[in-house]
Structure 1
């Protein structure tokens, strides 16, 4: 059965609800992988001023070739875009949720140099993108405050949307940007470490990938704090 095309209904609803103009959208890739970064795609659109974008779906529903073909159209369609990554070492040091927030903030900071959003749609039911600590008035008076490194997440409204990559066109577009960039990274890592099959598995825990870890050990691209091999082996 063909998938139903995502729409701009949710973006337009969020914009009209609070009087916003520019809506951001974010989705992550690589959350459950054993190796490689967690990556966040982010786009900013004016939902009142963009058409529907044919062919865009949740990245998992599209072939690799179709995803790559859609990237130029997506980048032309949006007001701004960015992809951010948090490495395996950062995931080990910070934990997954904090690493997601870091990758998301990197994507947002890049995009907002082009066009800032007023509010954000985030795929899923967990808001891992908002700042965990809100700055006080005193913080804002400190020298240097306002740099991207001073906050650990977004200070603008974030709205979560379950199955957002299936429902919201902007989230689907963000998912494609993240998937393409992360997959290309994993392909490049495979050239240095071909034993792990990253071109095929993209770092996820297939049986052959886990067996390669048993035989060759973990690399710097593996999330060493994770259970990389079956217990007892």
Structure 2
């Protein structure tokens, strides 16, 4: 039986000494076009119950997600959204791109959390290749805070659910903004995911500059490199957005 997210987990972690917590979630991991996007929401003991209705972004209508954003921003201690473009995904792979987007989000808030809560059972934020990864991106590698993972954290933890809403709304907006320049793919509806109209357009028109060209895209000869393939951890999920060098890297309060 599912129940709405709460701060029960966060309060327990705070009692263990982790006063400032960062809930973090991603969207766009399984999309065929656009960036992978990571939201982060920081809370401390002064942040009371999350705004009514906060839940995993997939369980909210688009209008409800948009309406929730200013309420989340007022509620939390700090927040940010980071992106890694399709070109970066092709170059370094989806897991390293998740790390890049997540660390960009963390770098754009001026508060270092004591602990990051990640949805799932895999810590994709922490890795021994951080320095090399950021050298690739032309950025200074920040120190990654400690991380704890939790399966279904987006259904249990208000901070993680709130982060998923911020990430989803921003990425959806990016894909919708790019849709008029690439009308054949239907991004205003599918947000870059493998919907039938998107797959059919790839068969006929091939890939745009915003597609993840190292993935197995219909009608596109596959490139080879670290980002190759969308199997396994690169599986299709539920999201949307872009990839060119002019794509925004982060947004913050």
**TM-score tier (shorter):** 0.7 to 0.9
Alpha-carbon separation, structure 2, partners of 1:6 and 1:78: 15
1:194 to 152, 175, 183: 183
- Higher helix residue share: 1
Q: Deviations over 1:89-110 (max 9, x none)?
A: 0000000000000000111111
SS in 2 for 1:7: coil
Distance 1:134 1:217, change over 3 A: closer
SS in 2 for 1:15: helix
Distance 1:110 1:16, change over 3 A: same
* Offset, 1:133: 4.8
1:22 aligns with 2:11: no
Distance 1:216 1:231, change over 3 A: closer
Aligned length: 215
Alpha-carbon separation, structure 2, partners of 1:190 and 1:154: 36
1:171 to 157, 160, 166: 160
> Paired residue for 1:38?
36
1:221 aligns with 2:210: yes
TM-score (norm 1): 0.87
SS in 2 for 1:149: coil
List structure 1 runs of 4+ shifted beyond 6 angstroms: none
> Paired residue for 2:99?
101
Alpha-carbon separation, structure 2, partners of 1:68 and 1:178: 11
| Segment drifting more, 91-100 vs 123-132 | 123-132
> Paired residue for 1:60?
58
Q: Deviations over 1:54-108 (max 9, x none)?
A: 1101000000000000000000111110000000000000000000000001111
1:118 to 114, 121, 132: 114
> Paired residue for 2:140?
150
- Consecutive unaligned residues of structure 2, counting only runs of 5 or more, are 132-137, 222-253
Question: Rg: which structure is higher?
Answer: 1
**Counterparts of 1:78-89 in structure 2 under 5 Å?**
78-89=76-87
CA RMSD of aligned residues (A): 2.1
Distance 1:200 1:165, change over 3 A: same
Q: Does the Cα contact within 8 Å between 2:204 and 2:219 map onto a contact in 1?
A: no
Q: Does the Cα contact within 8 Å between 1:201 and 1:209 map onto a contact in 2?
A: yes
Alpha-carbon separation, structure 1, partners of 2:48 and 2:96: 33
